[in-house]
Amino acid sequence: MSETSQSLPPPPVRFGVLMRMNGLIRKEFLQILRDPSSIAIAFLMPFFLLLLFGYGVSLDAEHVPVALVVEAPGPETASLAGSFMASRYFSPTVYSRMSEAIAAMNERRADAIVHLRSDFGRMIYSSAGAPIQVIIQGSDANTGRLISGYIEGTVQVWLAQLARLKGQSLQALVDMRPRIWFNSEVRSQNFLVPGLIAVIMTLIGALLTSMVVAREWERGTMEALAVTPVTMTEILLGKLIPYFILGMGGMTLAVSMAYFLFEVPLRGSLWLLIATSALFLLVALGMGLLISIIARNQFVAGQVAIIVTFLPAFILSGFIFDIASMPAPVQVITHLIAARYYVAILQTIFLAGDIWSVIVPNTMALFVMAVFFLGVSRRKALKRLD
């Protein structure tokens, strides 16, 4: 205590730094308030996008329209049709001729055809078994495979019921019992919403800063700043700090929506979530800053921001498409996407908890990226007139 009181007052230069920074930050906040689009980016966008995604995006197909072709109705076909009717996965329509079913499929009224031939009732008890022809509308491969799995499952369950009815004992077969950790009720929102926060914050961070420095160059105010005693580091910090505060506000909104509105469980600790989010926001802002320093005009800066943020974060972050299944060269590219690390961190903190073996390496990667973007921004931003 006594030591600090005895030490010399800070040199006037340090004071000047604080004053200049204060001025720059105040100026930036005034600008933000005057053109409310920054505030809209920070608060309106996460709200609107999370709402849309949270409610609009689902990979779980239900009530798939299926054309059931029954050539010769009998007790077996009726009970199988009943199984399809009862399933929440299907909304079947029964036809008596194959040609009608094909017409339905061509007119987008059916996504699959299940064809029971006239000898179905007899063949089902023969040793060869009854063939069931299934035709899938396969354009959408993922949905096609899902539907095929549902049909297979429905038929297997029905066969087992039939065997029981006929008094045959159920054979010993392998019975798969899946346990889905971290998301036992398989709510796709539980993983989509944390992933979406990463995608949205990439957008917002880059959008917030990408236009601002470019705007100063374009309007000539950068030259006005250049003749003042402010250093480049101060100018950049003066840009970064207000938008960081704005971005953290948006982040808080997004995380609160995930927790309260979409009821995504938060199994890890809140402080870790805040710390890693702040780090990620620095990366996103740094990326935007670098874009605007290199582009120097708002038009190009805006275009680059659109191109390098949303789509790469959407497709290459592992938020929806599995990174491990991508070809090796593409996997290498995903390492350049900051959202990739943040998606892994968010999904783990929300659903699994503070698992250090996931969080430490991903946080390190984010740290390296933050240092890189901010460092390169500082180097590229020279006080020069050209």
Site for another protein in 26-65 (CB under 8 A): 35, 37-38, 40-41, 45, 48-49, 52-53, 55-62, 64
Residue 214 or 237: which CB sits closer to another protein?
A: 214
Neighbour tally for 358: CB within 10 Å: 17
Q: Does 386 bind another protein (CB under 8 A)?
A: no
User: Which stretch, 12-20, 67-75, 157-165, 273-281, contacts another protein (CB under 8 A)?
Assistant: 157-165
Q: Give the shortest CB-180-to-another protein separation in angstroms.
A: 4
Q: Does 91 bind another protein (CB under 8 A)?
A: no
CA–CA gap between residue 335 and residue 221 (Å, rounded) = 37
Q: Torsion angle of alpha carbons 223, 228, 233, 237, nearest 10°?
A: -90
Q: Give the shortest CB-47-to-another protein separation in angstroms.
A: 12
Among 15, 82, 125, 383, binds another protein (CB under 8 A): 125
Among 27, 47, 98, 148, binds another protein (CB under 8 A): 148
Q: Give the shortest CB-8-to-another protein separation in angstroms.
A: 46
Neighbour tally for 122: CB within 10 Å: 12
Q: Give the shortest CB-20-to-another protein separation in angstroms.
A: 25
φ, ψ (nearest 5 deg) of residue 348: -75, -50
Q: Does 93 bind another protein (CB under 8 A)?
A: no
CA–CA gap between residue 110 and residue 93 (Å, rounded) = 9
Residue 15 or 356: which CB sits closer to another protein?
A: 356
Question: Binding string, 229-268, against another protein, x = CB under 8 A?
Answer: ----------------------------------------
Among 1, 13, 86, 128, binds another protein (CB under 8 A): 128
Please name the amino acid found at residue 170: L
CA distances from 315 to 196, 245, 326 (A): 11, 28, 11
128 by DSSP, 3-state: which?
coil
CA–CA gap between residue 40 and residue 53 (Å, rounded) = 18
Neighbour tally for 250: CB within 10 Å: 24
CA distances from 318 to 188, 202, 335 (A): 14, 14, 11
- Interface positions, 100-119, toward another protein (CB under 8 A): 105-107
